[in-house]
Amino acid sequence: MQSIEQLQERVREAAAKGHKLRIRGGGTKDWYGQRLEGEILDTRGHAGIVDYEPTELVITARCGTPLREIEAVLAERKQMLAFEPPHFGSDATLGGAIAAGLSGPRRAASGAVRDFVLGAKLLDGKGEVLGFGGQVMKNVAGYDVSRLLAGSLGTLGVLLEISVKVLPRPFAETTLRFRMSEIDAIRKLNEWGGQPLPVSSSCWHDGVLALRLSGAQAAVDAAVRSLGGEVMNDCGPFWASLREQRHPFFAGEGALWRLSVPSTTGAIVLGGSQLIEWGGAQRWLRAGGDADSAATIRRTVSACGGHATLFCGGDKSVGVFQPLQPTLARIHERLKASFDPSNVFNPGRMY
């Protein structure tokens, strides 16, 4: 078991000597973000579930705790991490999942990673342990820093411990398939999104729209009768393949872009194959990853009111994440300076 004191000593030594540290759990998302720099600070030794209150729908665990362990414990009580964090490997940890800020197919219905983070303990760049939030929803006065840490890719500090809200597993789930065009799928998803239907996930690709319905058996059955479509048998592996990007669409070595746009945005023509999730709000694009392609993609997506991330592959010198506006960039710089004044943690991982 790795103690907090050991981690503090390592951080203070790095700050004093001007060294850089690369925070790393299972390493399953090392490919995500700009560049990897610094000596590895392995967090897997700081592991274990600290507290779990099934009746309160809250679990607290240390950063190095394997995701599979947490999900197994929750499954025993018929509960789940509703944001369905992708693992991308058997060694994925809770700290890595929160730091990456990635959500799975259920995100549009249940919420993003940050919506489930209730509290956190952070080891900052000065070697001090900071606490934010707690184990209940209404405990925030001022800035909700614990949620700010979701998606920060370890650039602000070491996530020592995280309290996360969990949800009950749905009593029933059914997946329907519909053959329709991209334009019709986007229109239908937005139409259904305005109705009291138990839609928990959606996916359009290659002329087929898959729709997952989750909730009480009566509600799911009523939705099936209302919507029609073809029932997909044994649909669990399909949604898992989307979450873990084992679906055939994700195969290959070319650049993969993640486009975040308003769900009502029509078809985006960018010359590559697409897969659409989250009711139309998330669109995966296989296209060029060079500077010219990046400029075209980001210009087109920005005009729709969205942003584009070079998720994997391609030339990272074009910038993995959408360039920040000057005002927002200054806020990022000030946050980094406040939490990590010596720039010890994951330098250059985001921008």
Are 147 and 238 found together in one domain? no
Domain hosting 263: range is: 252-318
Cα–Cα distance for residue pair 37/14, rounded to 1 Å: 13
Domain count for the chain, please give it.
Answer: 3
Indicate whether this model's pTM tops 0.75: yes
In the predicted structure, residue 125 carries a pLDDT above the cut 50: yes
The reply to whether 344 falls in a domain is no
pLDDT of residue 136: 54
In a domain? residue 272: yes
pLDDT tops 60 at residue 270: yes
Cα separations (Å) of 261 from 23, 277, 282, 335? 31, 11, 6, 26
- Please report whether residue 184 resides in a domain: yes
- Residues 189, 264: one domain? no
Give the pLDDT score at 140: 47
Residues 133 and 176 in one domain: no
Q: Is 250 exposed, middle or buried (0-12, 13-18, 19+ CB in 10 A)?
A: middle
pLDDT for the residue numbered 258: 98
- Is the domain of 219 the same as that of 181? yes
Q: Quick one: 236 and 262 in the same domain?
A: no
Are residues 220 and 266 both part of a single domain?
Answer: no
Q: What is the CATH number of the domain that holds 123?
A: 3.30.465.10
Assess if residue 329 is contained within a domain: no
Q: Single out the residue in 116, 150, 168 at which a domain terminates.
A: 168
- For residues 284 and 219, membership in a common domain is answered with no
For residues 259 and 232, state if they share a domain.
no
| Residue 194 belongs to a domain | yes
Give the domain-ending residue among 168, 193, 211. Answer: 168
Do residue 141 and residue 187 come from a single domain? no
Supply the CATH number for residue 178's domain: 3.30.70
Q: Do 127 and 28 share a domain, yes or no?
A: yes
- Whether 304 and 267 have beta carbons less than 8 Å apart is answered as no
Tens of pLDDT along 304-339? 999 999 999 999 999 999 999 999 999 999 999 999
